[in-house]
Amino acid sequence: MENKQGTIAGLISCAVILVIAVFVLMSGGAL
């Protein structure tokens, strides 16, 4: 259970980092 919960938290963290990186790149490239 804890291992699965940790994996889900890791995936969410990776997704958040990717979204922020894409947002920064897009806003930087657009402006």
Residue 14: per-residue pLDDT: 96
Residue 31: per-residue pLDDT: 56
* Nearest C-alpha neighbor of 13 from the set 25, 24, 21, 2: 21
pLDDT digits (tens, 9 = 90+) for 1-31: 567 888 999 999 999 999 999 999 999 876 5
pTM above 0.85, yes or no: no
Residue 3: per-residue pLDDT: 74
Q: In which domain, by residue range, is 19 found?
A: 1-31
CA–CA distance, 27 with 20 (Å, rounded to integer): 10
User: In the chain, how many domains are there?
Assistant: 1
